[in-house]
Amino acid sequence: MPPISLPDPVSPTRHKNIEYELYLRNQQIALFKEVVTAVRERLDLESIFQLVATFSQGLIQAETVLIPVMDEDSTQYTYRAGSGVNADEIVGESLDINLGICGWVWKHRRPWWQGVLKELSEKERNQWEKEVGNVILVPLIGRNNFLGGIAGINKIGGGDFDKHDLDLLTLLASQIATAIDNNNLIEQLEQANQKLFSDKEKAQVTLSSIGDAVITTDTEGRIDYLNPVAESLFDTTLIAAKQKRLSDLGTLLIEESRQPATGLVEYCLC
């Protein structure tokens, strides 16, 4: 009988490594669910930023995680959230967009991490190795423009941020970029609605103050507005007249001929 091959037993160390990998995977899934839920529920941006900063610190095992976000004028960025060592001292600070790693990421529209160093010239590599230390920064890129980034500073226990860390932050960055884009869109819609409301109020004041009767209807001829002069003319109120037809209020005469004016809505729509 030929010898039977048995699978290698799983060593205690390997077993612990597998358990740790499963733990990390579950943590990642939980984080992504929370971020996606926060984006869908349209939580305020500061809450989303802080949520991502806090969880990212654990996921990539960074001493510090910061969320730099481009200001409206696109000339500087501000640290809007952070977690870890010295984060409280940095959050709220603003810097010129051309300075430091954020400037490099803004210029190249790509992540900064240890793997980038080998792609640089020797002069650039020497410059950046001394300046940045152990840093990873993934850009936040929206539909139309550069929005900011997620930065990890110093790996806990030493070592470099790796490709796995890069992939995690890249996935998170796409979620935050969506949240920022959605927030900007909502703000634009709210501003447009506010302007529309303000313009409508001004028009109402104007129509209410002129000396002529003003009547507006929909395309079917149903009344949707009477100014005070028109209310007095027909001895009614806007509330009572709303959705009635003009003919229900009375007969309008053409001034020159004193004949009934008919088909006014159709005439205006032609």
pLDDT at 92: 93
Residue 46's pLDDT is 83
Report the pLDDT value the prediction gives residue 6, as an integer from 0 to 100: 40
Query: How many whole angstroms separate alpha carbon 144 and alpha carbon 158?
Result: 37
Decide: helix, strand or coil at residue 128: helix
> What is the per-residue pLDDT for 5?
43
The answer to whether residues 214 and 157 belong to one domain is no
83 is a domain residue: yes
CATH number of the domain enclosing 89: 3.30.450.40
Q: Is residue 152 part of a domain?
A: yes
pLDDT of residue 81: 93
Q: Is residue 2 part of a domain?
A: no
202 occurs within a structural domain: no
Specify the number of domains making up the chain: 2
User: Looking at residue 84, what is its pLDDT?
Assistant: 94
Give a yes or no: residue 7 inside a domain.
no
In whole angstroms, give the CA distance from residue 213 to residue 123.
79
Taking the CA of residue 199 as centre, how many other CA atoms within 13 Å lie in the half-sphere pointing to its CB? Answer: 6
Same domain, 148 and 115: yes
168: in domain? yes
The stretches in the chain having pLDDT less than 50 are: 1-7, 10
Pairwise CA distance, residues 253 & 246, whole Å? 13
Measured between alpha carbons, how far is 62 from 79 in angstroms, rounded to an integer?
17
In a domain, 6, yes or no: no
Q: ∠ CA(57), CA(54), CA(31), 5° rounding?
A: 90
The string of pLDDT tens digits covering residues 81-108 is 999 999 999 999 998 988 878 888 888 8
pLDDT at 3: 47
Tokens 């000396």 -> residue: 211
Q: Same domain, yes or no, for 215 and 156?
A: no
pLDDT of res. 10: 47
What is the span of the domain harbouring residue 34?
Answer: 14-183
Q: Are 103 and 44 members of one domain? A: yes
Residue 208 to residue 213: CA distance in whole angstroms: 9
Q: Tell me, yes or no, whether 92 and 212 share the same domain.
A: no
Q: How confident is the model at residue 64, as a pLDDT?
A: 94
Quick one: tokens of 57?
């610190």
